[in-house]
């Protein structure tokens, strides 16, 4: 019976890959990858040789049916993203949904994802939270921030270093300047850092120190 397995890959530190993930990468009939070049580097590091086909945001609609046909011809197909768990702000949802609709077994292994360690380390309440992924780049961006300003739960967002300052500036239009924010950067990597402070302080800091690397932005919920 054909099966699709979603395998999380390290978000920075290669030691974070699990033994189970390595086994599936070795045993799979083929791999679908967000960027085949990135995946080949990972496979080479762990001395794995495997056929890898592209499945990314630019082709997932066009090649969805073809990808399902390929999966149905294999016993085990693995889907990986460049880093973290496929489907979490990365391609994967459409493929999973199509497999479910076609009766193909879907399995997702536990493993690396950036927002969980960032949330737990933030010091903000994490018993209830809202994960936003990336904000809209243009249309609906400010509307979304206006809604989030009234959110009581801790908010978790992914952000590009090139848009972080813009996001903090826009937050000042809807959030009070004293709202506490944590900017978690380069998680699991050598230069992992957590910058803590309110919106105003964070904006001033990153204007003076332009951000680099992958960023998780955490916002404390509205106090009662």
Tokens encoding 205: 């800091």
Model confidence at 155: pLDDT above 90: yes
Which tens digit of pLDDT belongs to each residue from 73-125? 999 999 999 999 999 988 889 999 999 999 999 999 999 999 999 999 999 99
Q: Is 133 found in the same domain as 44?
A: no
- List the one residue out of 36, 35, 97, 87 whose CA is nearest residue 65: 97
Tokens standing for residue 178 = 């004293």
Kindly state whether residues 183 and 99 are assigned to the same domain.
no
Note whether residue 94 is domain-resident: yes
- Residue 132: other Cβ atoms inside 10 A: 19
Confidence at residue 224, expressed as pLDDT on a 0 to 100 scale = 55
State the average pLDDT for the chain: 94
Question: Alpha helix (H) ranges present in the chain?
Answer: 19-27, 36-45, 64-72, 93-101, 115-122, 141-148, 164-171, 199-208
- Please tell me the distance from the alpha carbon of residue 174 to that of residue 201, in angstroms, as a whole number: 16
- Tell whether 178 and 84 lie within a shared domain: no
In this prediction, residue 221 carries a pLDDT of 97
The C-alpha angle 60, 63, 68, rounded to 5 degrees, equals 100
27, pLDDT greater than 70: yes
Whether 42 is covered by a domain: the verdict is: yes
Q: How far apart are CA 108 and CA 62, in angstroms?
A: 24
pLDDT band at 60; cut points 50, 70, 90: low
Expressed as residue numbers, the domain containing 154 is: 115-219
CATH code, 131: 3.30.950.10
Are 43 and 79 found together in one domain?
yes
215 and 118 Cβ atoms separated by less than 8 Å: no
Residue 55 pLDDT grade (very low, low, confident, very high; cuts 50, 70, 90):
confident
> What value does the mean pLDDT take over residues 8-33?
96
Clarify whether residues 13 and 103 are in a common domain: yes
From 83, 108, 133, give the residue that closes a domain. Answer: 108
**Pairwise pLDDT comparison (9 vs 58), residue with the higher score:** 9
In the predicted structure, residue 128 carries a pLDDT above the cut 60: yes
Q: Are residues 14 and 35 in the same domain?
A: yes
Q: Sorting pLDDT into bands at 50, 70 and 90, what band is 187?
A: very high
């Amino acid at each position: 019976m054909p099966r699709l397995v979603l395998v999380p890959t390290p978000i920075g530190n290669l030691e974070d890959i699990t033994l189970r993930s390595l086994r599936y990468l070795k045993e799979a009939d083929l791999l679908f990858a967000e960027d085949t070049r990135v995946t080949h580097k990972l496979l080479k590091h762990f001395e794995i040789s495997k056929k890898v086909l592209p499945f990314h945001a630019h082709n997932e609609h066009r090649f969805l049916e073809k990808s399902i046909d390929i999966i149905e011809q294999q016993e085990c197909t693995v889907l990986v993203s460049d880093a973290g768990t496929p489907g979490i702000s990365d391609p994967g949802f459409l493929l999973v949904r199509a497999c479910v609709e076609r009766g193909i077994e879907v399995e997702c292994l536990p493993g690396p994802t950036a927002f969980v360690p960032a949330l737990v380390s933030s010091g903000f309440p994490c018993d209830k939270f809202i994960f936003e992924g990336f904000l809209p780049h243009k249309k609906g961006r400010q509307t979304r921030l206006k809604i989030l300003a009234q959110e009581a739960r801790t908010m978790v967002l992914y952000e590009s270093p090139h848009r972080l300052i813009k996001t903090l500036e826009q937050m000042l239009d809807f959030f009070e300047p004293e709202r506490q924010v944590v900017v978690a950067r380069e998680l699991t990597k050598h230069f992992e850092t957590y910058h803590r402070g309110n919106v105003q302080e964070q904006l001033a800091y990153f204007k003076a120190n332009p951000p680099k690397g992958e960023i998780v932005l955490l916002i404390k919920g509205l106090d009662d």
